[in-house]
Structure 1
Amino acid sequence: MVKRVIIAFLLASSVLFACSAKGSSDKEAETGSSGASSSAAGTSADADTSYAFGVALGSDLRQVGLEFDYDAFTDGFRDAVEGGEMRMTIDEAVTKIQFAFMAAMAKQAEENLAAEQEFLAENGKKAGVMTTASGLQYEIVSQGTGPRPGATDVVLVNYEGTLLDGTVFDSSYARGAPAEFPLNQVIPGWAEGILLMNVGGTARLYIPAALAYGEQGAGNIIPPNTMLIFDVELLSIQN
């Protein structure tokens, strides 16, 4: 993510600089009412482009949970775009960003782990919820009558995955078609849970981060140390 934010900054700088240069050229070359109209249109387009970069960058920064000083951001951005005197070099800026991201992600990971532990401690007390030696919790919603898959089988399933706050991050139902997965190529908690099911059954899996994507998370979708909840329907064993 750090690399993408830096690339986005560079792209924003180059595009906005080009827009600014074009706007200045247009103003010098055009006169009269038509020139004023063209300039106004250009300004609107530049504003939309600038706003679009702000949205893209802001989305990444919000997900990480960085505290932001908007005045300092504007000063640094303007200095870089307009060629002003900067308080730090690009290399120093990159290092600063990397440290800020690592600190924010470490804080987020710690908070997520605490939320997971609190949830699992209470969830494990509920009737019907089983906890395995690995820490996986699962609940058989409806018992299937077919066979159980093996560790290397390919299974056909319908499923929906959510975060602890209820956010749906993946769903075969939303795509309108079941999905095939080799059980030896999925996250450990998912594979372990499916192995406890019979074909035709449905279950809810509560997968700790250690059995999912761990401290690294998964891109912009799953934050670090995030437990996952899956509702799964085991349709068939494909092989």
Structure 2
Amino acid sequence: MSRLLIVALVALFALPAYGADEKKADEQKTFYAIGQVMARQLAVFDMSKDEIDQVLKGVKDGVESKTPNFDVEPYKAKIQNLALSRRNAQGEKLAAKTKEFVEKAAKEKDAVKTPSGLLYKSLKEGTGASPTATDKVKVNYRGTLVDGKEFDSSYTSGRPVEFGLNQVIKCWTEGLQKMKVGGKAQLICPPDLAYGERGSGLIPANATLVFEVELLDIVK
């Protein structure tokens, strides 16, 4: 986590309540947005309220250059291991919900399960062309775990993304070829079509992923 983000978060707590001044209100919203970005980075730790309080105390003390009452250095090496263990623990909790979620989704109207295991459901039919596996596409998307927790979204970042369909997870390579430009679909991706046993970022190992994808264009 960069020092700039830490300073910004601490500044957020020091700001007064929103006032009538438009510029000040906009600055406060900017700092709040920084806090939201940081929260997404910390989501992998799945923290309790007491743990969040400790993080905020550490941030505040660090920015104010207060000397900790213990040696912090040995604990820096533990951060990645803690992140991995918390992420995997989330995966184990999700496993119990996944079967029920997938079975229910498969029974929904217009849901189609392909031989690979992908569950595809059109939410809005497009009218343009369909991409091939080697095309580059432009999309908006939102990705969640089966408990509804969002792990990635182009809507949150505020801009669509472009990528080659042969450069992404198998679920996307297969699912987007079923779409037409202008369409929107839900893709439910089993682990072997997503990130499998390794997981990725906020995504636990062996996680089933749920995407809502808008196919905006095929990039020539």
Match of 2:208 in 1: 227
Conserved 8 A contact 2:44-2:86 = no
**Structure 2 length as normaliser, TM-score?**
0.60
Separation of aligned partners in 1, 2:150 and 2:125 = 25
| Match among 179, 186, 190 for residue 168 of structure 2 | 186
Match of 1:137 in 2: 119
Separation of aligned partners in 2, 1:153 and 1:189 = 15
Separation of aligned partners in 2, 1:101 and 1:111 = 16
Q: Percent identity?
A: 44
- Once the two structures are TM-superposed, the CA of residue 109 in structure 1 deviates from its matched residue by 3.9
Conserved 8 A contact 1:64-1:101 = no
| Match among 181, 185, 202 for residue 203 of structure 1 | 185
Separation of aligned partners in 1, 2:127 and 2:181 = 6
Counterpart amino acid of residue 124 in structure 2: S
- Once the two structures are TM-superposed, the CA of residue 188 in structure 1 deviates from its matched residue by 0.8
User: Of Structure 1 and Structure 2, which has the larger fraction of its residues in helix?
Assistant: 1
Match of 2:157 in 1: 175
**Structure 1 length as normaliser, TM-score?**
0.56
Separation of aligned partners in 1, 2:147 and 2:162 = 27
In structure 2, the gaps of 5 or more residues are: 1-41, 49-68
Conserved 8 A contact 2:182-2:214 = yes
Alpha-carbon RMSD across the aligned residues, in angstroms, is 3.3
Offset from partner CA, 1:111-148 (integer Å, 9 cap, x none): 43332222111210111111111111111011111111
Larger Rg: 1 or 2?
1
Conserved 8 A contact 2:45-2:86 = no
Conserved 8 A contact 1:64-1:105 = no
- Once the two structures are TM-superposed, the CA of residue 108 in structure 1 deviates from its matched residue by 4.8
Q: Which runs of 4+ in 1 moved over 2 A?
A: 59-65, 100-115
Kindly tell me the number of residue pairs found equivalent between the two proteins: 159
Match of 2:195 in 1: 213
Task: Report the secondary structure of 1:185's partner residue.
Answer: coil
Separation of aligned partners in 2, 1:102 and 1:172 = 25
